[in-house]
Amino acid sequence: MRQRRAVRRLERHLEVSDGALIIADDGPGLPASLEELTKPFNSQQVTLAGQSFTSGTGGLGLFIARRIVEAHGGTLEQLRSTTGTRLRLNLRGCDAAHHHRGRPPAVQNWVGIRPEKPGFRGRR
């Protein structure tokens, strides 16, 4: 059984003109494609204390991250890397005016979420 080494370095790089945030680490990398890992409750192999297990709750964090980014008009993509993981959070498609109007349109269209009405203070 192969034991994974811990992440020793985490890099962040913000490309303001491009509207992107790149996050990289020197860990073991992702065990599957980003497309697979952003599905909720995907199964992936996990090694804990030298024991290998199949987890049924892996990938929930990336699922949530992708939904938040897409709700704001952006994308989350995996970049090629010889070691570790490199992800690019692309916000190029975001409209800065959303921040002045409240929620982005994608969030307003989610089931169960409605734009706030003046004077509304919660459930009645």
Give the tokens for residue 9: 């370095």
pLDDT tier for residue 110 given thresholds of 50, 70 and 90 = very low
> What is the largest distance, in Å, between two alpha-carbon atoms of the chain?
60
- Tell me how crowded residue 111 is: count the other CB atoms within 10 A of its CB: 4
For residue 32, tell me if it sits in a domain.
yes
Q: Does residue 117 belong to any structural domain of this protein? A: no
Q: Is residue 55 assigned to a domain?
A: yes
Q: Which range of residues forms the domain containing residue 73?
A: 10-108
Is-above-0.85 flag for pTM?
no
Q: Is 44 contained in some domain?
A: yes
If one compares 19 and 118, the residue with the highest pLDDT of the two is 19
Please tell me the total count of domains within the chain.
1
- Is residue 115 in some structural domain? no
SS3 state at 100: helix
Q: What is the pLDDT of residues 50-97, one digit of tens each?
A: 767 665 545 578 888 888 888 888 999 988 888 888 888 888 655 554
User: For residue 15, is pLDDT > 50?
Assistant: yes
121 or 8: which carries more pLDDT confidence?
Answer: 8
In a domain, 5, yes or no: no
Q: Is residue 57 in some structural domain?
A: yes
